[in-house]
C-alpha cells in the first residue's frame, strides 16, 4: 500500500457517470483526491467539465465528457476510448430518475422513462464495463441502488422495482464476472440531499418525516457516499463482490422511531 493507505486509488482509471452533480460529483472529486485518474461523465457535459476543472485545480487528474447511459453504443465508445488511452479499472454509475406517482396513474411514457435510465442505462454500463474488464481480468463496477430496493412507500412502485432490479443485476454480474477477477457491487443510499430530492426538501413536513427515518434524525449528504464508494473501488475490497453497502443513516435497521416507556 502507498502512503494513502487502504483507500489508495493511485494508478487506477475510474469512470464516474453522473459526475456533474449530487452524489456523482462528490464521488468524482473524492476518487480524484485519492489519487485516481478520473473521467467525469454526464449528460450535462458543461457542468461535468466544471467538476473536472475543480479536481485538476487541486492537483488531481480528471477529464470530462458527455455520456447518455440510455445509448448502449455511446457507452461502448466512451469506455473503449478510456480503456485504449489509460485502461479502465473502475466504473461507478450514479444516475437514476423517479416519477412519484401511484401505479394506477402511471402513463406508459413515464414507465418507459424510468426503465430506460434506471434499468436499461445501468445494464448498458454493466455490460460494456464487464466486457472490457473480463478481457483484462481485473476491475470493479459499482452501481447505485437504494433503500427502496428493500422498502417502499406509495408512489414509489416503479422506482423501487428498478432499484431492486439493479441489485439483482449486480448479484448476477458478480457471479458471471467473478472468475475473471472482476468485482461488482452496489451502494444503497438512504435519503440524500441531491437535485433528485430537492422537491422533498422544499416541503418541510416531508423533509422532516424522511429525516426521522434515520437514527441520526437527519438527511445524508453526497459527501457521505464517497467513503463507501472509494472502499469498493479500492483494493481494500478485493474479496467483496455481489453485495450492497447501505449508507442510509440506519433507515433499514430501525423498525419505527417510537421509544417504549422506560427506555
What is the C-alpha to C-alpha distance for residues 137 and 28, in angstroms, rounded to an integer? Answer: 24
Give the model's pLDDT for residue 15: 98
**159 catalytic per annotation:** yes
Is 143 domain-assigned?
Answer: yes
Is 258 domain-assigned?
Answer: no
Give yes or no for residue 257 having a pLDDT over 90.
no
213 φ, ψ (degrees, to nearest 5): -70, -20
What is the C-alpha to C-alpha distance for residues 231 and 195, in angstroms, rounded to an integer? Answer: 25
User: How many domains does one find in the chain?
Assistant: 1
What is the C-alpha to C-alpha distance for residues 70 and 85, in angstroms, rounded to an integer? Answer: 24
Catalytic residue among 159, 207, 210, 239: 159
Least confident of 16-25, 162-171, 250-259: 250-259
Q: What is the pLDDT of residues 4-61, one digit of tens each?
A: 578 999 999 999 999 999 999 999 999 999 999 999 999 999 999 999 999 998 788 9
Is 261 domain-assigned?
Answer: no
CA-CA distances (angstroms) from residue 147 to 27, 100, 256?
19, 16, 15
Is 37 domain-assigned?
Answer: yes
Mean pLDDT, the chain, rounded, equals 94
Is 262 domain-assigned?
Answer: no
Per-residue pLDDT, averaged over 173-188, amounts to: 98
What is the C-alpha to C-alpha distance for residues 249 and 254, in angstroms, rounded to an integer? Answer: 10
Confidence of residue 2 (pLDDT cuts 50, 70, 90): very low
Handedness of CA 141, 147, 150, 155 (dihedral sign): negative
**Could you tell me which of 93, 178, 86, 90 has the C-alpha nearest to residue 140?**
90
Strands of the sheet with 90-93, listed across from one edge: 61-66, 37-42, 13-17, 90-93, 139-144, 182-189, 244-247
Is 168 domain-assigned?
Answer: yes
Cell of 133: 474488464
Does pTM top 0.85 for this prediction?
yes
Q: What is the pLDDT of residues 113-136, one digit of tens each?
A: 999 999 999 999 999 999 999 999
**Could you tell me which of 109, 145, 115, 117 has the C-alpha nearest to residue 42?**
117
Is 256 domain-assigned?
Answer: no
Give the model's pLDDT for residue 260: 61
CB count, 10 Å around CB of 31?
A: 30
Is 30 domain-assigned?
Answer: yes
Q: What is the pLDDT of residues 144-156, one digit of tens each?
A: 999 999 999 999 9
Q: Which domain holds residue 232?
A: 5-247
Burial class (CB in 10 A: 0-12, 13-18, 19+), 120: middle
What is the C-alpha to C-alpha distance for residues 190 and 193, in angstroms, rounded to an integer? Answer: 10
Give the model's pLDDT for residue 256: 65
The CATH number of whichever domain residue 98 belongs to comes to 3.40.50.720
94 φ, ψ (degrees, to nearest 5): -105, -20
Amino acid at each position: 500500500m502507498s502512503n494513502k493507505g487502504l483507500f489508495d486509488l493511485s494508478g487506477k482509471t475510474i469512470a464516474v457517470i453522473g459526475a456533474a452533480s449530487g452524489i456523482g460529483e462528490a464521488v468524482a472529486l473524492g476518487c480524484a483526491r485519492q489519487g485516481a485518474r478520473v473521467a467525469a461523465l454526464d449528460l450535462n457535459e458543461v457542468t461535468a467539465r466544471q467538476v473536472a476543472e475543480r479536481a485538476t485545480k487541486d492537483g488531481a487528474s480528471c477529464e470530462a465528457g458527455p455520456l447518455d447511459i440510455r445509448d448502449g453504443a455511446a457507452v461502448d465508445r466512451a469506455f473503449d476510448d478510456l480503456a485504449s488511452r489509460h485502461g479502465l479499472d473502475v466504473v461507478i454509475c450514479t444516475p437514476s430518475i423517479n416519477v412519484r406517482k401511484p401505479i394506477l396513474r402511471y402513463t406508459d411514457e413515464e414507465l418507459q422513462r424510468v426503465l430506460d435510465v434506471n434499468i436499461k442505462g445501468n445494464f448498458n454500463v454493466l455490460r460494456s464495463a464487464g466486457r472490457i474488464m473480463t478481457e483484462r481480468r481485473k476491475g470493479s463496477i459499482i452501481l447505485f441502488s437504494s433503500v427502496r430496493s428493500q422498502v417502499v412507500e406509495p408512489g414509489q412502485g416503479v422506482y423501487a422495482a428498478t432499484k431492486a432490479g439493479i441489485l439483482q443485476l449486480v448479484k448476477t454480474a458478480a457471479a458471471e464476472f467473478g472468475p475473471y477477477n472482476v468485482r461488482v457491487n452496489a451502494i444503497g443510499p438512504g435519503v440524500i440531499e441531491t437535485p433528485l430530492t430537492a422537491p422533498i426538501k422544499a416541503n418541510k413536513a416531508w423533509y422532516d418525516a424522511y429525516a426521522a427515518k434515520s437514527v441520526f434524525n437527519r438527511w445524508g449528504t453526497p459527501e457521505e457516499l464517497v467513503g463507501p464508494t472509494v472502499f469498493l473501488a479500492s483494493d481494500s475490497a478485493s474479496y467483496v463482490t455481489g453485495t450492497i453497502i447501505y449508507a442510509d443513516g440506519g433507515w433499514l435497521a430501525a423498525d419505527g422511531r417510537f421509544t417504549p416507556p422506560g427506555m
